């Protein structure tokens, strides 16, 4: 591709965020970060996904009328009918059934021709792509520009994945729950087969797509990561060594959001007014409220939701419980909302998570251990109750418990199979929920030590994204590196 870029033009980067909240949200923040550093960012997304972040981008543009903060949007038409998907099913959190995950991935693969045409038309200097778009590697290669990958998780979990794939230590164990050591890591790490992501066992029918992800990694220039160096220095270095590529930690990217409205609408428009949430939190004592949220893709069985509710009630702690609006009211114990009315807030739908976690009243977070949630909790200085469900969430739990020491485990030893929740039933009883919540929200010496550790990590996170901090510097180095690649490319074409 003959580039029309000039050496003095701003760096122009195309962003391909994956259609899942845990990947989409941080990628949009990364694009905004690039723009704030003087680069031009172009985000490619489908119409339904664009509605989730359009308002925030509009505010960015309005606040930067001098055009030093340039973010463009390009629309990708999602191929519903070709992939046999329901109309407007453009994000994993709108997928009505696990059985359609193959169709959804098929639709993702069918976006390549549109994307190729847009890259050729606009001629960006680089592509930053979610790993779930392996075809961006081919586009970048065809167009002679670098492709960087975004995984959406921490370097610890990426290292664990890589070493488990390389050494296959699970091949010698006799049961799903037998602990085994994963070789090749900076520290001894023990896991079980039941805690490994589904992709190791190929039971989603997506093996062919995972193979394409691995192949695309070989054609990737480097890795952009929503983490910060100080939280996992050994694993940032080790991941660079494992993949033989540069890794740029530029997070925590949630901290780029400083306005209350941006924080409240990050990822989607909240289903409850932010002022209502803040007024409720203002009425509570510091560190007295437990925030309970299991992400946007989790489905619990009715029986498990009942146990969670009754356990929270018995704990006597104040809490905010975020549940999917698709549940309706059927899961609540009889008389539950009346009994906990003075100390509980139940939010059905999307919640302003970062806004809640950063309120002084919040003293704990019961979470599925998605990396965004872990990082947002640590950044806010809030210890966690870990309840991993699927994907790499058990790896993130391992990091929280054994490397950071800022969490208490609920005790699940195996994850939920998406779509099989009702068959699995109850994994954690109300008594266990009550026990762990009561302990974390207490004032023991062990809990205070945990609070002190997470508070120190919060300070390190703030320092990392501040001017002169590690993530701030890494962003500048990344942009300079990509500009140097462009200069080399232009000089060769002359």
Question: In this predicted model, what pLDDT tens digit does every residue of 423-469 receive, in sequence order?
Answer: 777 899 999 999 999 999 999 999 999 999 999 999 999 999 999 99
Residue 285 CB neighbour total at 10 angstroms = 10
Q: Which residues, listed in sequence order, are joined to residue 191 by a DSSP beta bridge? A: 180
Cα 77 from Cα 297, distance rounded (Å):
23
Cα 62 from Cα 126, distance rounded (Å):
26
Give domain status of residue 261, yes or no: no
pLDDT at res. 69: 64
What would the pLDDT profile of 271-324 be if each residue is shown by its tens digit? Answer: 788 899 999 999 999 999 999 999 988 888 888 999 999 999 999 999 999 988
- Per-residue pLDDT band for 141 (boundaries 50, 70, 90) equals very high
What would the pLDDT profile of 35-51 be if each residue is shown by its tens digit? Answer: 999 999 999 999 999 99
Give domain status of residue 172, yes or no: yes
Same domain, 326 and 375: yes
Give domain status of residue 262, yes or no: no
pLDDT at res. 6: 65
Structural domain containing residue 91: 12-256+467-493
Task: Flag whether pLDDT at 108 surpasses 50.
Answer: yes
- Per-residue pLDDT band for 1 (boundaries 50, 70, 90) equals very low
Give domain status of residue 109, yes or no: yes
Contacts of 315 (CB under 8 A, 6+ apart): 290, 433, 434, 437, 438, 441
Same domain, 73 and 138: yes
Annotate the chain with three-state secondary structure: CCCCCCCCCCCEEEEECCCCHHHHHHHHHHHHHHHHCCCEEEEEECHHHHCCCHHHHHHHHHHCCCCCCEEEEEECCCCCHHHCCCCCCCCHHHCCCHHHHHHHHHHHHCCHHHHHHHHHHHCCCEEEEECCCCHHHHHHHHHCCCEEEECCCCHHHHHHHHHHHHHCHHHHCCCCCCCEECCCCCCCCEECHHHCCHHHCCCCCCHHHHHHHHHHHHCCCEEEECCCHHHCHHHHHHHHHHHCCEEEECCCHHHHCCCHHHHHCCCCCCCCCHHHHHHHHHCCCCCCEEEEECCCCCCCCHHHHHHHHHHHHHHCCEEEEEECHHHCCCCCCCCHHHHCCCCEEEEECCCCHHHHHCCCCEEEEEECCCHHHHHHHHHHCCCEEECCCCCCHHHHHHHHHHHHCCEEECCCCCCCCCCCHHHHCCCCCHHHHHHHHHHHCCCCHHHHHHHHHHHHHHHHHHHHHCCCCHHHHHHHHHHHHHHHHHHHHHHHHC
Q: What percent of the chain has pLDDT over 90?
A: 73
For residues 137-162, average pLDDT = 96
Task: Flag whether pLDDT at 2 surpasses 50.
Answer: no
Same domain, 329 and 416: yes
410, 433 contact by CB (below 8 A): yes
Stretch among 166-170, 233-237, 416-420, 429-433 having the lowest mean pLDDT: 416-420
Same domain, 25 and 65: yes
Give domain status of residue 304, yes or no: yes
pLDDT at res. 267: 64
Same domain, 217 and 361: no
Stretch among 14-28, 60-74, 117-131 having the lowest mean pLDDT: 60-74
Same domain, 70 and 54: yes
Give domain status of residue 340, yes or no: yes
Same domain, 310 and 404: yes
- Compute φ and ψ for 181, nearest 5 degrees: -85, 135
Same domain, 130 and 155: yes
Mean pLDDT over all residues of the chain? 91
Task: Flag whether pLDDT at 362 surpasses 80.
Answer: yes
The number of domains in the chain is 2
pLDDT at res. 199: 58
Same domain, 125 and 203: yes
Same domain, 359 and 384: yes
Same domain, 198 and 106: yes
Task: Flag whether pLDDT at 416 surpasses 80.
Answer: no
Task: Flag whether pLDDT at 8 surpasses 80.
Answer: no
pLDDT at res. 442: 96
- Per-residue pLDDT band for 329 (boundaries 50, 70, 90) equals low
- Please give the model's pTM, rounded to 2 decimal places: 0.94
Any idea what the CATH number is for the domain that residue 116 is in? 3.40.50.2000
What would the pLDDT profile of 177-206 be if each residue is shown by its tens digit? Answer: 999 999 999 999 999 999 998 755 455 556
Give domain status of residue 3, yes or no: no
Same domain, 342 and 472: no
Give domain status of residue 4, yes or no: no
């Amino acid at each position: 591709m003959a580039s029309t870029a000039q050496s003095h033009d701003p760096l122009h980067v195309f962003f391909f965020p994956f259609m899942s909240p845990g990947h989409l949200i941080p990628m949009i923040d990364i694009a905004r970060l690039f723009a704030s550093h003087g680069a031009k960012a172009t985000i490619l997304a489908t119409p339904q996904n664009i509605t989730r972040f359009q308002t925030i981008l509009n505010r960015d543009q309005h606040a930067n009328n001098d055009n030093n903060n340039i973010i463009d949007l390009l629309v990708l038409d999602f191929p519903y009918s070709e992939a046999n998907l329901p109309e407007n099913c453009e994000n994993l959190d709108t997928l009505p059934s696990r059985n359609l995950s193959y169709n959804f991935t098929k639709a993702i693969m069918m976006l390549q021709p549109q994307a190729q045409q847009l890259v050729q038309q606009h001629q960006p200097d680089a592509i930053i792509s979610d790993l779930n778009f392996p075809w961006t590697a081919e586009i970048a290669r065809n167009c002679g520009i670098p492709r960087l990958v975004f995984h959406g998780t921490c370097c610890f979990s990426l290292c664990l994945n890589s070493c488990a794939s390389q050494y296959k230590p699970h091949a010698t164990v006799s049961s799903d729950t037998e602990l085994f050591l994963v070789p090749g890591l900076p520290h001894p790490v023990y896991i079980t087969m039941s805690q490994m992501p589904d992709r190791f066992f190929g039971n989603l029918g997506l093996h062919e797509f995972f193979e394409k992800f691995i192949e695309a990694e070989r054609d990737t220039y480097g890795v952009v990561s929503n983490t910060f160096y100080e939280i996992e220095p050994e694993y940032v270095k080790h991941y660079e060594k494992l993949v033989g590529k540069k890794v740029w930690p530029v997070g925590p990217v949630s901290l780029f959001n400083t306005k209350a409205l941006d924080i409240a609408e990050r990822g989607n428009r909240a289903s409850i007014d932010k002022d209502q949430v803040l007024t409720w939190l203002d009425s509570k004592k510091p560190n007295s409220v437990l925030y309970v949220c299991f992400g946007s893709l989790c489905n619990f069985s009715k029986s498990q939701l009942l146990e969670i509710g009754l356990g929270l009630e018995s704990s006597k702690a104040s809490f905010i419980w975020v549940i999917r609006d698709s549940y309706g009211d059927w899961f609540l114990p009889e008389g539950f909302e009346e009994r906990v009315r003075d100390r509980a807030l139940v939010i059905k739908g999307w919640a302003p998570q970062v806004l809640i976690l950063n309120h002084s009243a919040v003293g704990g977070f019961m979470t599925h251990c998605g990396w965004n949630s872990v990082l947002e909790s640590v950044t806010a200085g809030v210890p966690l109750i870990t309840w991993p469900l699927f994907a790499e969430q058990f790896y993130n739990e391992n990091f929280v418990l054994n490397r950071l020491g800022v969490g208490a485990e609920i005790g699940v030893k195996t994850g939920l199979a998406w779509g099989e929740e009702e068959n699995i039933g109850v994994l954690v009883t109300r008594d266990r929920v009550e026990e762990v919540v009561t302990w974390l929200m207490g004032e023991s010496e062990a809990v205070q030590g945990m609070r002190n550790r997470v508070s120190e990590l919060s300070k390190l996170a703030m320092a990392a994204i501040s001017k002169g901090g590690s993530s701030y510097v890494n962003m500048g180095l990344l942009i300079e590196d990509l500009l140097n690649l462009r200069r080399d490319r232009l000089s060769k074409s002359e």
